[in-house]
Amino acid sequence: MCGRYTLATPVAELSRIFGFSELPNLAPRYNIAPTQEIAAVRLLRDEERRELVLMRWGLVPYWADDPSIGSRMINARSESVADKPAFRSAFARRRCLVLVDGFYEWQQHGVPKGGKKQPYRIRRRDGQPFAFAGLWESWKGPKGGPELDQPLETATIVTTDANEVLKPLHHRMPVILAPEDYDAWMNPETPKDTAEALLRPCPEDWLEAYPVSTRVNNVRNEDASLVEPVEVEPAAPAAAAEEKSRQPRLL
């Protein structure tokens, strides 16, 4: 899954890498959480160009009666995204890139019941920003009710099975797209089977994982120290050997 991530790369660098022309004032973010505003790129088909947009994280289907449903739609499983009613329309016509330069995962394996889970940050080995496969929607108001003055635009992140870097932490991970697949993913003319084939774990050698402070657990904490590596406390003697074998690999 993906429930927290970072985007501190300057917008001019993001523009160069992802090919959009907008240059809004994007403040560095070190603890982006669901329901907050996120940066995404979508394809403007009439103009055949990419557009940077700010959306709320948590997809609200166009048919929803209440926008609060979005808080339960922060992720979409790749295995069912093309057919599940909440996502199938967006998958068919409204695919986007969610811009990130790292994300957090909490170690699930080897943690005793009631124990504190250790957060890890996952990033590209080369330190470059990257893109999650995303879907977006425009909600105009409850069905049969008055339309909003400004439609609510929301997005979700597609997840898949974890690769070998993430498996010691969690069984799921966000879909990280290769740059050469960006246009195919965003283009609604891309055949369904082709788009679905892009929803796979990224190569292990793209990523590295390292432990960070548990301060990231609190969404109110938002500063650069959250992405600094920390020393992990030794495991209890009886579990130390097993726990060491489960630690994420730095690739």
How many whole angstroms separate alpha carbon 224 and alpha carbon 206? 23
If you search the block for the tokens 């600094």, which residue do you land on? 228
How many whole angstroms separate alpha carbon 137 and alpha carbon 235? 44
The whole-angstrom distance between residue 240's C-alpha and the CA centroid of its chain comes to 32
Cα distances (Å, whole numbers) of residue 195 to 76, 91, 99, 191: 14, 9, 19, 6
22 is catalytic: no
Catalytic pick among 2, 153, 208, 243? 2
Q: Is 121 exposed, middle or buried (0-12, 13-18, 19+ CB in 10 A)?
A: buried
221's enclosing H/E stretch is none
- Tally DSSP H helices, then E strands, for the chain: 5, 12
How many whole angstroms separate alpha carbon 173 and alpha carbon 179? 18
How many whole angstroms separate alpha carbon 80 and alpha carbon 165? 24
- CB burial of 146-176 (b: ≥16 within 10 Å; e: otherwise) equals eeeeeebbbbbbbbbebbebbbbbbebbbbb
How many whole angstroms separate alpha carbon 177 and alpha carbon 130? 8
How many whole angstroms separate alpha carbon 225 and alpha carbon 60? 33
202 is catalytic: no
Catalytic pick among 96, 105, 153, 243? 105
One-letter amino acid of 31: N
List active site positions. 2, 105
